[in-house]
């Protein structure tokens, strides 16, 4: 494997903090980029900056050949709404990457519906993807649905809902299908994307092997938690009020939960399965992913009910 100086933005986040050690193991020289370098526990150089304002990007990208863009703006506050912040950050990063001569930008985004226009958060992910793919000819975009991992906020949101509610309310989106992916497999794809010749210049869907409805996914999480949670099928969709209630129960921000639930309008399935063969990634099943994530959750000192 070819190795070189590699930038990891979002290095304090779930994916970035797990990716950086994997890149080091593969022999890459890793540099991080963060608004608060003090939160980085890994022993690597970290440049302080903010992609939304552009501060620190030039210094972070100096001599970098591959740059991972793991920045999302679904948080309260900041300059403007999350779509405008995402757009500004991606444009700043793309311009700085071109100026620095970066060979490849790797972006982890979300799936795109095949039968309808994407709603706000997926539309923003697609806009960021297009901006970054245009930065260099060899850039790569990976599109993942729900990531199963102990520190994945979407997975933790589902677990907290199952734990804290006596029944499982399942609105109409319960029957829509997706293919959640193990966090370990996401990391394997990201590491492989740095050197994969066939991935250059492409957007690739990455997904787990199991096709599940959202209802099945929630019910199987309850089974892994050893909890009896009767499902209640509701004849409605996720309304803004439901998003607020769910965020409050799960202890999450409305800025994360609202756009996620707003996008549950139909299936979110990959267009094809070429990514696994192209980058030689072996996939874990949904049940294996959940069981591992819950074990890691508990090993971090966070108790889970009935386990």
Instruction: Please tell me the predicted confidence (pLDDT) of residue 73.
Output: 62
Least confident of 56-70, 220-234, 274-288: 220-234
SS (H, E, C) the chain: CCCCEEEEECCCCHHHHHHHHHHHHCCCEEEEEECCHHHCCCCCCEEECECCCCECHHHHCCCCCEEEECCCCCCCCCCCCHHHHHHHHHHHHHHHHHHHCCCEEEEEECCCCCCCCCCHHHHHHHHHHHHHHCCCCCCEEEEECCEECCCCHHHHHHHHHHHHCCCEEECHHHHCEECCEEHHHHHHHHHHHCCCCCCCCEEEEECCCCCEEHHHHHHHHHHHCCCCCCEEECCCCCCHHHHHHHHHHHCCCHHHHHHHHHCCCCCECCCCCHHHHHCCCCCCCHHHHHHHHHHHHHHCCCCCCCC
**Domains and their CATH numbers in the chain:** 5-138 (3.40.50.720), 146-181+207-269+280-307 (3.40.50.720)
Mean pLDDT along residues 164-188: 91
Q: List 178's β-bridge partners, or say none.
A: 212, 268
pLDDT in tens, 22-44: 999 999 999 999 999 999 999 99
Q: What are the structure tokens assigned to 163, written together?
A: 């734990």
Q: Judge whether residue 9 has pLDDT over 60.
A: yes
Owner of token pair 């903010």? 50
Overall pTM surpassing 0.85 (yes/no)? yes
For residues 11 and 157, the model is more confident at 11
Q: List 50's β-bridge partners, or say none.
A: 55
Instruction: Please tell me the predicted confidence (pLDDT) of residue 251.
Output: 83
Distance between CA 68 and CA 121 in Å, rounded? 20
CA dihedral (184, 186, 187, 192) positive or negative: positive
Instruction: With cut-offs at 50, 70 and 90, classify the pLDDT of residue 77.
Output: very low
Mean pLDDT along residues 14-20: 97
Instruction: Please tell me the predicted confidence (pLDDT) of residue 2.
Output: 62
Per the prediction, the chain carries an average pLDDT of 90
Q: Judge whether residue 150 has pLDDT over 70.
A: yes
pLDDT in tens, 55-67: 999 999 999 999 9
Q: Judge whether residue 163 has pLDDT over 80.
A: yes
Cβ atoms of residues 208 and 285 within 8 Å: yes
Mean pLDDT along residues 9-34: 96
Nearest to 68 by CA among 4, 121, 152, 126: 4
For residues 269 and 115, the model is more confident at 269
Q: Judge whether residue 118 has pLDDT over 60.
A: yes
Instruction: With cut-offs at 50, 70 and 90, classify the pLDDT of residue 307.
Output: low
Q: Judge whether residue 281 has pLDDT over 80.
A: yes
Instruction: With cut-offs at 50, 70 and 90, classify the pLDDT of residue 120.
Output: confident
Chain centroid to CA 209: 18
pLDDT in tens, 94-103: 999 999 999 9
Instruction: Please tell me the predicted confidence (pLDDT) of residue 109.
Output: 94
Instruction: Please tell me the predicted confidence (pLDDT) of residue 122.
Output: 85
Instruction: Please tell me the predicted confidence (pLDDT) of residue 79.
Output: 47
189: left (phi over 0), alpha (psi -120 to 50) or beta: alpha
Cβ atoms of residues 169 and 232 within 8 Å: yes
Instruction: Please tell me the predicted confidence (pLDDT) of residue 225.
Output: 93
């Amino acid at each position: 494997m070819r190795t070189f100086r590699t930038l990891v933005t979002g290095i304090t986040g779930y994916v970035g903090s797990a990716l950086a050690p994997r890149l080091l193991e593969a022999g890459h020289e890793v540099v991080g980029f963060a608004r608060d370098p003090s939160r980085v526990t890994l022993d690597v150089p970290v440049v302080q900056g903010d992609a939304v304002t552009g501060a620190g990007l030039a210094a972070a990208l100096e001599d970098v050949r591959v740059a991972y863009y793991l920045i999302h703006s679904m948080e309260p506050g900041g300059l403007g709404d999350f779509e405008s912040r995402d757009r500004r950050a991606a444009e700043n990063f793309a311009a700085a990457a071109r100026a620095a001569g970066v060979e490849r930008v790797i972006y982890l985004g979300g799936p795109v519906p095949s039968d309808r226009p994407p709603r706000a958060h997926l539309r923003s992910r697609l806009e960021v993807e297009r901006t970054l793919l245009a930065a260099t000819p060899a850039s790569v975009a990976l599109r993942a649905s729900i990531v199963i991992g102990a520190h994945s906020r979407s997975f933790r949101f589902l677990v907290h809902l199952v734990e804290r509610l006596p029944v499982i309310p399942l609105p109409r989106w319960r029957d829509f299908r997706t293919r959640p992916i193990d966090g370990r497999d996401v990391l394997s794809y990201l590491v492989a994307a740095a050197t994969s010749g066939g991935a250059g210049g492409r957007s690739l869907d990455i997904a787990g092997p199991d096709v599940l409805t959202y209802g099945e996914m929630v019910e199987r999480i309850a089974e892994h938690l050893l909890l009896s949670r009767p499902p209640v099928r509701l004849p409605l969709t996720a309304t803004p009020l439901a998003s607020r209630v769910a965020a409050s129960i799960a202890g999450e921000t409305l800025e994360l939960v609202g756009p996620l639930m707003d996008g549950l309008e139909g299936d979110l399935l990959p267009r094809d399965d070429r990514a696994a063969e192209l980058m030689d990634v072996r996939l874990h099943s949904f049940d294996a992913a959940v069981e591992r994530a819950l074990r890691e959750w508990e090993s971090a000192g966070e108790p889970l009910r009935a386990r």
